Homo-oligomer: A and B are copies of this chain.
């Protein structure tokens, strides 16, 4: 009684237990069932009783024990997020937007680099056992991930790939449309045989789709791309630099146009080209991918294909919550468009008055 009078969370002594539902019930002179009802289904309780209970809750600073609650309801309102070892900015944007959305909807986010591989985790309880559902982002074409996901007994939303026949919600970005627009844009002022795609390693879903779209547009113009027009490396500045230096040294870079698989590769190429005295965009036109923050910070500003990370994050959270809260619903497969953002690095004379 007197203890309730003092500040609820004044740190006086030992690991004192927080007040339980029992304490509230006593304080309000009702049963614990009634306290529970006031908190979860107020409409079942008389207004006056509810009022009394709410006061007790307030005075004691009571907060229900979520573990006890989850044990009963089998719901924690925690969403797991499993991201591959992806790059800084993309990761941040995704998490930030997912967090915001989850928050709005009353959920929390548990992050873990590979939460969908229970065998990889430490022995002490898997993230999987704490979450109601899982958002998994996949970037590689590997069977093992899909198998792991198929083996889970909680709802899953997959970002990045749309595996046919799996009963999960999926969010993908349509790499094809953005890559195609970018390629067409390059072809406006550069002949097909002088266009290049500089990608990541074969097997990366995004890079491969972007490469395919690139090749497909060239073919549409009646040009079968030479294998050397499509290079494979990794998503890094260094790889872009290296690729461009080699082309420079063999004298094939000037007068060409490049679609890079991401912005970092593009920056590597730009820096190497300029180091060799080429002017962007006069001697080399270039378009990156992701439309990351850096694009408008560079001089010349870098053209790029925008990937709607913010929407992807938001849609992923919504999709997962949907399959959590409407168990019967048919999984939706959402595809978000990418779009070309033209800046100085790829402008042609007529476009640049």
Contacts and interface: CB of A to CB of B under 8 A. Distances in A.
Interface in A17-70: 18, 63-70
A228 B271 CA distance: 35
A9 interface: yes
A124 B109 contact: no
A293 interface: yes
Given A66-B130, A68-B71, A122-B103, A110 B112 contact: no
A87 B65 CA distance: 34
Interface of A: 9, 11, 15, 18, 63-71, 76-78, 87-89, 91-93, 95-96, 99-100, 103-106, 108-113, 121-127, 129-130, 151-153, 237, 264, 267, 271, 274, 293-294, 296-299, 327
A267 B91 CA distance: 22
A84 to B, nearest CB: 11
Contact of A92 (B11, B77, B89, B294): B89
Q: Which 5 A-B pairs give the minimum distances between C-beta atoms?
A: A92-B92, A106-B122, A88-B92, A106-B124, A67-B71
B109 A108 contact: no
Nearest to A263: B297
Nearest to A63: B129
A91 B96 contact: yes
Contacts of A112: 99, 103, 108-109
Contacts of A293: 88
